[in-house]
């Protein structure tokens, strides 16, 4: 057996707050590791056995259990571990006041080992499509049908969606040109469905029948880095305004009128680049175009890497973004605004560790080796991830200038609040330590819940929600 790696990252369900908890990694009944997440909700990277990349099934599996006070326990079964690759398991924790609750997630076998035919949806004809500017959305809505026939609509970051699909439909040991070509297909098919508004009337953008999305699944570090680098590029055919409907299949067991995945490996091994590979399966007049309109990326990359010794407005904005993220992810050290110095380098390194960056620059995409960087340089990948992380935090924060954080201490001891006292006693301090007190009302103060608390309130079905809110509202503050 060879060695692969795993890192677990746990946050609240909206992804904006880290969770400190216990992670148990096992193989069946055998305990392998018991780890604690740090202030950023991240475990150390641990080594696990994995088969060789040329094996019939080139990955092993392990099970992960995440536990934290005040949150539902999450069990994830079947995480894939590849030789010399880092699997990253992001777990979203749901607050709960009840004990003994669990959520079980079962990751299916990799698509290439158990191929299934994707739904053959024909794209709209060009004549039906009004011209519109191409853009990368911040979020997309996925229609998910579970094995038990239950259905749900899930909103997810566009980049997170592409990373998830790619991690479960591509082998990370493939040549980089093959991986790149396959990712372009995933991006283009997704953008085509958004452009044509195929599912708009149903209230979602894409289904798990059209591409393999694994809810609660792991992602692969090197594949994610490739996605981070090329997420705003897609395939377009000359004379067509829309991204190409880039159908693909494994090409061994199932074929379609599009790209055959296993054949991309052979072509890459012969020295073909990604565009050459794509033209082998699609019309010769296709091109890879870059889309500059990226929703949610409020601060575009300055166009050059930022590193120690530099100064200026871009450096100062980087420092502001890292300080704002550090308010939630407290393992990121605070930075004094000014020159890009050792403080900024340290903060960048901690941030990179959160996402286990395996950097691939645009110039390196077609090289045959991967490089792992431990420097504090902020390249395009790092900048974009910092910007998006901050966007998630801001989107899930209250921004009223009339609010301030206050700590829960005790409840007014009056007859009308005795029931609320008993209820508050059941709230784990680690999960409900802070509320926000609004001073906007002169008659009586209003109490606004922070994102984590509001999420707990919305998700809790086993308590009197009004009583819970009143319990918080009657807290004395210091």
How confident is the model over 86-116, as pLDDT tens digits?
999 999 998 887 667 899 999 999 999 876 6
Contact 134, 187 (CB under 8 A): no
* Cα–Cα distance, 204 to 161 (Å, whole number): 14
* Cα–Cα distance, 257 to 121 (Å, whole number): 12
User: What is the CB-side half-sphere exposure of residue 364 using CA atoms within 13 A?
Assistant: 12
Q: What letter would DSSP give residue 302?
A: -
Residue ranges of domains in the chain, CATH in brackets: 2-106 (2.60.40.1120), 126-290 (no CATH), 313-395 (no CATH), 403-476 (no CATH)
How confident is the model over 166-214, as pLDDT tens digits?
999 999 999 999 999 999 999 999 999 999 999 988 999 999 889 999 9
Neighbours of 223 (CB within 10 A): 28
pLDDT of residue 200: 85
Q: Percent of the chain beyond pLDDT 90?
A: 55
- Collapsed DSSP state (helix, strand, coil) of residue 416: helix
pLDDT of residue 149: 67
> Binning pLDDT at 50, 70 and 90, where does residue 333 land?
very high
Contact 233, 288 (CB under 8 A): yes
pLDDT at 6 over 90: yes
**Which range, of 34-38, 279-283, 440-444, averages the lowest pLDDT?**
440-444
Contact 162, 139 (CB under 8 A): no
- Collapsed DSSP state (helix, strand, coil) of residue 5: strand
pLDDT of residue 398: 43
**Which range, of 77-81, 150-154, 265-269, averages the lowest pLDDT?**
150-154
Q: Give how far the C-alpha of residue 164 lies from the chain's centroid of Cα atoms, to the nearest Å.
A: 8
In the predicted model, what is the mean pLDDT of residues 43-52? 96
* Cα–Cα distance, 474 to 412 (Å, whole number): 6
pLDDT at 415 over 70: no
In the predicted model, what is the mean pLDDT of residues 104-131? 70
pTM equals: 0.79
Neighbours of 189 (CB within 10 A): 26
pLDDT at 378 over 60: yes
pLDDT at 359 over 70: no
Return mean pLDDT, the chain.
80
pLDDT at 286 over 90: yes
Let me know if 138 is exposed, middle or buried by CB neighbors in 10 A (0-12, 13-18, 19+): middle
Query: Which contacts qualify for 421-425: CB closer than 8 Å, 24 or more apart?
Result: 421/471, 423/463, 423/464, 423/467, 423/468, 423/471, 424/471, 424/472, 424/475
The four Cα atoms 88, 89, 95, 98 give a dihedral, to 10 degrees, of -150
> Binning pLDDT at 50, 70 and 90, where does residue 441 land?
very low
> Binning pLDDT at 50, 70 and 90, where does residue 14 land?
confident
Q: What letter would DSSP give residue 240?
A: -
Contact 261, 251 (CB under 8 A): yes
Residues listed for the chain: 478
User: Who wins on pLDDT, 221 or 452?
Assistant: 221
The number of helix segments (H) and strand segments (E) in the chain equals 11, 21
* Cα–Cα distance, 135 to 232 (Å, whole number): 8
pLDDT of residue 116: 66
Let me know if 309 is exposed, middle or buried by CB neighbors in 10 A (0-12, 13-18, 19+): exposed
* Cα–Cα distance, 20 to 143 (Å, whole number): 31
**Which range, of 26-30, 252-256, 319-323, 402-406, averages the lowest pLDDT?**
402-406
pLDDT at 61 over 80: yes
Q: What letter would DSSP give residue 168?
A: H
User: Who wins on pLDDT, 201 or 475?
Assistant: 201
pLDDT of residue 380: 85
């Amino acid at each position: 057996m060879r060695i692969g790696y795993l890192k677990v990252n746990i946050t609240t369900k909206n992804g904006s707050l880290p969770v400190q908890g216990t992670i148990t990694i096992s193989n069946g009944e055998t305990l392998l590791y018991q780890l604690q997440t740090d202030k950023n909700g991240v475990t150390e990277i641990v080594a696990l056995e994995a088969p060789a990349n040329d094996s019939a099934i080139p990955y092993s599996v392990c099970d992960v259990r995440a536990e934290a006070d005040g949150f539902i326990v999450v069990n994830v079964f079947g995480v894939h571990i590849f030789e010399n690759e880092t699997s990253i398991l992001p777990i979203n924790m749901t607050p709960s006041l009840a004990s003994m609750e669990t959520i079980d997630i079962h990751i299916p076998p990799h698509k290439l080992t158990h191929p299934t035919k994707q739904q053959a949806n024909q794209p709209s004809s060009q004549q039906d499509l009004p011209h519109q500017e191409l853009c990368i959305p911040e979020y997309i809505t996925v229609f998910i049908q579970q094995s038990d026939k239950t259905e749900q609509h899930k909103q997810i970051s566009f980049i997170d969606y592409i990373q998830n699909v790619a991690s479960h439909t591509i082998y990370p040991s493939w040549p980089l040109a093959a991986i790149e070509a396959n990712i372009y297909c995933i991006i283009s098919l997704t953008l085509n469905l958004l452009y044509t508004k195929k599912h708009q009337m149903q209230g979602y953008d894409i289904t798990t029948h059209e591409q393999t999305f694994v809810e609660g699944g792991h992602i692969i570090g090197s594949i994610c880095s490739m996605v981070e680098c090329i997420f705003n590029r897609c395939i377009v055919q000359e004379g067509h305004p829309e991204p190409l409907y880039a159908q693909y299949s494994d090409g061994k067991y199932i074929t379609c009128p599009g790209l055959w995945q296993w054949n991309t490996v052979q072509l890459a091994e012969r020295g073909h680049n990604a565009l050459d590979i794509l033209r082998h399966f699609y019309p010769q007049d296709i091109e890879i175009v870059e889309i500059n309109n990226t929703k949610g990326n409020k601060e575009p990359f300055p166009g050059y890497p930022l590193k120690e010794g530099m100064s200026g407005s871009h450096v100062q904005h980087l420092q502001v973004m890292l300080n704002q993220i550090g308010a939630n992810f407290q393992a990121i050290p605070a930075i004094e605004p000014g020159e890009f110095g050792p403080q900024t380098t340290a903060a960048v390194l901690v941030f990179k560790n959160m996402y286990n960056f395996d950097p691939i620059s645009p110039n390196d995409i077609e090289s045959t080796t991967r490089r792992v960087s431990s420097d504090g340089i902020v390249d395009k990948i790092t900048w974009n991830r910092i910007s998006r992380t901050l966007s998630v935090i801001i989107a899930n924060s209250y921004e009223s200038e009339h609010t301030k954080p206050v700590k829960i201490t005790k409840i007014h001891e009056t007859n009308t609040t005795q029931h609320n006292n008993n209820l508050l006693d059941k709230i784990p301090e680690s999960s409900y330590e802070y509320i926000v007190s609004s001073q906007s009302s002169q008659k009586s103060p209003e109490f606004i819940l922070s994102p984590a608390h509001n999420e707990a309130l919305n998700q809790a079905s086993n308590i009197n929600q009004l009583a819970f809110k009143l319990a918080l509202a009657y807290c004395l503050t210091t």
